[in-house]
Amino acid sequence: GFNCGIVGLPNVGKSTLFNALTETAAAEAANYPFCTIEPNVGRVPVPDPRLDRLTEIGKSAKEIPTFLEFVDIAGLVRGASKGEGLGNQFLANIREVDAIVHVLRCFDGEVTHVDGSVDPIRDAETVETELLLADLESAEKQRDAAIKRARGNDKEAKERLAVLEPVIEALEAGRPARSVTLSDDQLPAFRQLQLLTAKPVLYAANVDEESAATGNAYSAKVAARAEAEGGACVVISAAIEAEVAALEDPAEKREFLETLGLEETGLARIIRAGYGLLDLITFFTVGPKEARAWTVRRASRAPQAAGVIHTDFERGFIRAETIAYDDFVALNGEQGAKDAGKMRAEGKDYVVKDGDVFHFRFNV
């Protein structure tokens, strides 16, 4: 599965947010299997009304959503890249995640801030500087190693060097690795560098309860920064998310959100943004036993989608029988779609579309 690491300076609301997200998720997911939640890892079901429709039309006995994982990564302080605080452990934890949710304090109040005042842009820069410094150190080491190997005419080392040069230049100028423009065939070498600033970032501007629907002056600055970087920003109030999480009745939840001028939980908005950030799409399988949602990267081909379900499905892939979600619904299910000629047989080069309903045919 795909995962997002929640990072930020101390006292900005990371734990409050993480706990609220996973509690909300646990409540919503009470009916689903496989929803074990470790202390700092939460598997959060991705809300998708399309799955409800498919379950209904397919008369499936069970409905299983797809999940996104959130990891609470505590311990970042100024100097982490030099091993301060939980520095090295912290950086190692970030290396493991697909995307970063960067929580920024955008609320005033009694809570002590490590740097004495509320300034989300300064905080963002503090965290990003640590990640940049860690990357610079790692990239320089990798360059030294690649230079040695490139002398022996090592093709891979040369490719790596060609990527490392612009990356190091960017890092030295204070720009993240993800800002470097590379050609498609350089991407594998780039990924192998495993740089922290290569990961997409979503800012979670944590505002006071009164500003949850509108945002405030602090969150506006964060949004502007995200836009300038081509990144994403979600306004949330961790305090409100905690209150929502404490409500058990879904109707009560909805009502509470409505009184605050909110259409949905911060959880739903963060998940949607995370999906966008990671360039993920959802496909479905629908049968009498279960209707289920699955996640793949956009531009994945049919065998890769089959592989998400089972590696055997990918290895022995023959073809995918595909119905678009809209056709499945409009024609009242698989038989109707089949009769109307809307079930297509697609081969191994088929590029998966968001909402595809699949049957995979494979050799064992």
Binding-site residues: 11-16
Judged by beta carbon, residue 16 or residue 186, the one nearer ligand GDP is 16
Count of alpha carbons within 13 Å of 8, Cβ hemisphere only?
Answer: 28
User: In this structure, how many other beta carbons lie within 10 angstroms of the beta carbon of residue 33?
Assistant: 8
Judged by beta carbon, residue 146 or residue 239, the one nearer ligand GDP is 239
Judged by beta carbon, residue 14 or residue 178, the one nearer ligand GDP is 14
Which candidate, 198, 288, 11, 46, places its Cα nearest to that of 123? 11
**Do the Cβ atoms of 301 and 350 come closer than 8 Å?**
yes
- Please state the closest distance from residue 48 (CB atom) to ligand GDP, in A: 27
* Alpha-carbon distance values, 161 to 138, 193, 224, 262 (Å): 13, 11, 34, 49
**Do the Cβ atoms of 300 and 329 come closer than 8 Å?**
no
- Please state the closest distance from residue 40 (CB atom) to ligand GDP, in A: 11
Judged by beta carbon, residue 236 or residue 320, the one nearer ligand GDP is 236
Question: For residue 356, what is the DSSP state?
Answer: -
- Please state the closest distance from residue 27 (CB atom) to ligand GDP, in A: 19
Count of alpha carbons within 13 Å of 36, Cβ hemisphere only?
Answer: 2
Judged by beta carbon, residue 268 or residue 309, the one nearer ligand GDP is 268
Binding residues for ATP: 11-16
Percent helix, strand and coil across the chain, each to the nearest 5? 50, 20, 30
Binding region for ligand GDP (CB under 6 A)? 8, 10-16, 107, 109, 111, 206, 208, 237-239
- Please state the closest distance from residue 6 (CB atom) to ligand GDP, in A: 9
The Cα 65–Cα 292 span in angstroms is: 6
The burial of 259, by beta-carbon neighbours within 10 Å (0-12 exposed, 13-18 middle, 19 or more buried), is given as exposed
Judged by beta carbon, residue 38 or residue 137, the one nearer ligand GDP is 38
Q: Which residue is nearest to ligand GDP (CB)?
A: 13
- Please state the closest distance from residue 215 (CB atom) to ligand GDP, in A: 13
Which candidate, 314, 316, 303, places its Cα nearest to that of 349? 303
- Please state the closest distance from residue 199 (CB atom) to ligand GDP, in A: 19
